[in-house]
Amino acid sequence: MNILSRKEKEELRQVLMPLVDDLHRVALSFCHDENAAEELVAATVGKACESYRSLKDRSRIKPWLLRILSNMFISQQRTKARHPHVEYDEIENDKQNQFSLFEQISQPFLLWWGNPEREIMNKFLDEDIQKAIESLPAEFRIAVVLSDVEGMRYQEIANILQIPLGTVRSRLARGRSLLQKKLWHHAQDLGIILRKAHRHETIQTQHSTH
C-alpha cells in the first residue's frame, strides 16, 4: 500500500532533495546534535514517503515536511522522557509568560552611564543561548526556533504546525519567557549577574555611598 510508484517516487525526489538542507538546518536548531539531527531528517523522510499520497496540495510540500519534522521531534522528545508531556494551557497573557530578563537586570538609577542590559547580553556566548533553547520543552522550542532562529512569521508557523495564530503567539510568549528565565539563572551561575540577595545588598551599598 505504501509503496510509491516509480513516477511518484521521482516526483517526491525532485521536490524533496532541494529541501534537505532546510530540513537538516531546522533539525539541528531543534536538537543541536549532528547525529540526532540526521536521525530526525531520516525519520521525516521515511514518514514523508509513507504518507506522500495523502498530501493533497503538492505545492505545500515545505510546510508539510516541516510539520512532519516538528511532530517527529515532539514524539522523540516524549519517548526520551527527558521532557515528558508537560501540561500547559494555551491561555494568552498567562502570568507564566511574563518573565523578563530585562526587568531583572535593568537598573534604572544606573541608566545615565551605560547600558547594563546590553553589556550582559554581550557576555552570553552563542553556546549559552543554544543551551537555553535546548532546555525548552519541545512545543515551545519549536515555536522559538521557527520564529526567532528561522525568522518565520506567525502565519507561516501556524500553517506549518496547523494551529491557530493565537496559539503560535502564546507558545512563543511562553517559550521566550522560559528562555529568558534560563538565561537569567545561567548568568547567575556564571557570575555575570550577582545573585538577587547579594545584588540587592550591592545596590543598597551603592545607594548609601551616594
Binding footprint of other proteins on the chain (CB under 8 A): 2-4, 9, 12-13, 16-17, 20-21, 24-25, 28-29, 38, 41-42, 45-46, 49-50, 93, 100-103, 106, 108, 111, 115, 117-118, 121, 124, 126, 129-130, 133, 144, 147-151, 153-154, 169, 172-173, 176, 180
CA 185/CA 193 separation, integer angstroms: 9
CA 67 to chain centre: 14
Closer to other proteins by CB, 29 or 77: give it.
Answer: 29
CB of 196 to other proteins, least distance (A): 19
CA 82 to chain centre: 16
Cell of 35: 547525529
Give the sign of the dihedral formed by CA 67, CA 72, CA 75, CA 76.
Answer: negative
Which among 118, 124, 100 has a CA at the least distance from the CA of 188? 124
Closer to other proteins by CB, 35 or 209: give it.
Answer: 35
CB of 37 to other proteins, least distance (A): 8
3-class SS of residue 94: coil
CB of 85 to other proteins, least distance (A): 25
Closer to other proteins by CB, 78 or 106: give it.
Answer: 106
